[in-house]
């Protein structure tokens, strides 16, 4: 890939991407589930509380916690950034954010 437009063309439903969040670390491999003109979604597995099970106080943390959770698959959305906020390499794209401390890498997506 040479341009961000190449990344968008290569991004189709069913393609697998390795996701790295530069704040939280490696997010693993995910399948593209939806592609739109301004955004795309990746299948993501998350814990969802089972509300009927109620909550109890965790004595170690002092916080209320759900008694039971279940694993669910949801769509995790990413809005397409401006091309100027990206860096493209052969199989990956790095998305940057401009903030007070300068330009900071946020996400890296690599095609598998």
Q: Cα separation of 27 and 33, whole Å?
A: 16
Give residue 68's pLDDT.
74
Sheet holding 25-35, edge to edge: 69-79, 39-49, 25-35, 16-21, 102-111, 92-99, 86-88
What pLDDT, in 10s, does the model give residues 55-108? 777 778 888 777 777 788 889 999 999 999 999 998 999 999 988 888 999 999
Q: Is the pLDDT assigned to residue 11 strictly greater than 90?
A: yes
What pLDDT, in 10s, does the model give residues 39-68? 999 998 887 777 666 777 777 888 877 777
- pTM for this predicted structure: 0.77
Phi–psi pair at 31, nearest 5 degrees: -90, 140
Domain ranges within the chain, ordered by starting residue: 4-111
Scan for tokens 């279940």, then name that residue: 70
Q: Cα separation of 85 and 92, whole Å?
A: 14
């Amino acid at each position: 890939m040479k341009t961000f437009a190449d990344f968008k063309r290569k991004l189709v439903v069913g393609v697998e991407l390795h996701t790295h969040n530069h704040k939280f670390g490696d997010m693993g491999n995910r399948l593209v589930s939806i592609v739109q003109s301004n955004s795309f979604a990746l299948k993501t597995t998350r814990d969802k509380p089972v509300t009927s099970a109620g909550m109890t106080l965790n004595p170690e943390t002092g916080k209320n916690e759900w008694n039971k959770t279940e694993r669910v698959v949801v769509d995790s959305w990413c809005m397409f950034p401006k091309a100027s906020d990206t860096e493209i390499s052969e199989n990956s794209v790095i998305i940057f954010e401009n903030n007070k401390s300068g330009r900071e890498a946020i996400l890296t997506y690599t095609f598998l």
